[in-house]
Amino acid sequence: MPPLPTVLLYGIPYVNAAPDALYEHLRASLLAPTSAPTVIFTPNASIAAAAKQDASLTALLCRATLCLPDGIGILAAARRRGTPIRYRLPGIETGEQVLRLAAAYTLPVFFLGAAPGVARRAAARWKQQLPSLPIAGTHHGYFTQSGEQNERILSRIRDSGARIVLVCLGFPAQERWIDQNAPLLPGVQMLLGLGGSFDVWSGEKRRAPTLFRRLHTEWLWRMLCDPTKICRLPAMISFVWHAKDEKRAKSAVKIP
């Protein structure tokens, strides 16, 4: 299976492909599994800005099979750098497509993360929409991500027969959990870090209205719903603005 094209932005290789091409790639990955599972991270501008300040976070994101450009900030930074990414690939929409594939090919899915009861409600609502979707199990995200508690959850996932694991623990906890535990789940073909998707799917929170999504201002909707997120805005603006400087620095030639 040929790899999807990517664009490197601040050291992170973002997928640069149309949604249909991505979904076909995911379908092929699920139907022709390899020895290593497909790991999908969805770093938006806020996450990428944090990784820009911490090389260990950049390295963590780079260990994913696919990094998806989740948010207009990534597209804006890539365009300013002179290496445009054509399509925004939101994690929540990718997760929805994966669930449809799971229903079509009867691949059991495990929902891990969010507050107690949220993952269960999210799974139940998807089961209503897709009756053929096999739910392998659910577990909330309030657990110690190492030691005995973590071992019990890994055992549950292995015993459930899950082929796909959706993880909503927030950044960087979900990425670290997937990175550390994917090798311990030999039956799992795909793991996705999906942030707050369970909250939306369960009805706990509302996703931005269609108009906001069409105008690429979903970030603004999230800030209106949760004003505490406004403190992230300066770092995001700086991330986009200095993308051009990164290109200049890399293209600079030293004359002896």
The CA-atom distances, in angstroms, between 86 and each of 25, 39, 40, 203, 237 are 17, 22, 19, 31, 20
pLDDT digits (tens, 9 = 90+) for 77-114: 999 989 999 999 999 999 999 999 999 999 999 999 99
The pLDDT value recorded for residue 62 is 98
pLDDT digits (tens, 9 = 90+) for 112-158: 999 999 999 999 999 999 999 999 999 999 999 999 999 999 999 99
Does the pLDDT value for residue 232 go beyond 70? Answer: no
Give the 3-state secondary structure of residue 14: strand
Q: How far apart are CA 162 and CA 241, in angstroms?
A: 42
The CA-atom distances, in angstroms, between 115 and each of 140, 182, 197, 205, 215 are 6, 22, 12, 12, 30
Structure tokens at 238: 């700086």
Identify the CA nearest to 44 among candidates 155, 164, 197, 148. 197
Predicted model pTM = 0.86
The pLDDT value recorded for residue 252 is 41
The pLDDT value recorded for residue 250 is 54
- Please report whether residue 213 resides in a domain: no
Tell which wins on pLDDT, 206 or 128.
128
| Residues 64/41, Cβ–Cβ less than 8 Å | yes
- Please report whether residue 153 resides in a domain: yes
Secondary structure percentages of the chain, helix, strand, coil, to 5: 50, 15, 35
Q: How many CB atoms lie within 10 A of CB 143?
A: 16
Backbone angles phi, psi at 131, to 5 degrees: -55, -25
Residue whose structure tokens are 């996703």? 207
- Please report whether residue 26 resides in a domain: yes
pLDDT digits (tens, 9 = 90+) for 234-256: 666 676 767 766 655 554 434 33
Q: How far apart are CA 231 and CA 20, in angstroms?
A: 35
The CA-atom distances, in angstroms, between 57 and each of 51, 201, 241 are 5, 28, 21
| Residues 198/168, Cβ–Cβ less than 8 Å | yes
Please report which confidence band the pLDDT of residue 205 belongs to, taking 50, 70 and 90 as the band edges.
confident
The pLDDT value recorded for residue 35 is 74
pLDDT (mean) for 184-212: 87
Residue whose structure tokens are 């990164």? 246
Identify the CA nearest to 195 among candidates 42, 22, 12, 38. 42
- Please report whether residue 211 resides in a domain: no
The pLDDT value recorded for residue 193 is 98
- Please report whether residue 90 resides in a domain: yes
DSSP 163: S
Q: How many domains does the chain have?
A: 1
- Please report whether residue 245 resides in a domain: no
Structure tokens at 139: 């577990």
| Residues 107/134, Cβ–Cβ less than 8 Å | yes
pLDDT (mean) for 177-196: 97
pLDDT digits (tens, 9 = 90+) for 16-61: 999 999 999 999 999 987 778 999 999 999 899 999 999 999 999 9
The pLDDT value recorded for residue 2 is 84
Rg over CA atoms, the chain:
18
Q: Which helix (H) or strand (E) holds 99?
A: helix 91-104
| Residues 135/143, Cβ–Cβ less than 8 Å | no
| Residues 145/177, Cβ–Cβ less than 8 Å | yes
- Please report whether residue 251 resides in a domain: no
The pLDDT value recorded for residue 132 is 98
* Domain encompassing residue 82: 10-202
The pLDDT value recorded for residue 34 is 72
| Residues 193/167, Cβ–Cβ less than 8 Å | yes
- Please report whether residue 255 resides in a domain: no
**163: CATH:** 3.40.50.10700
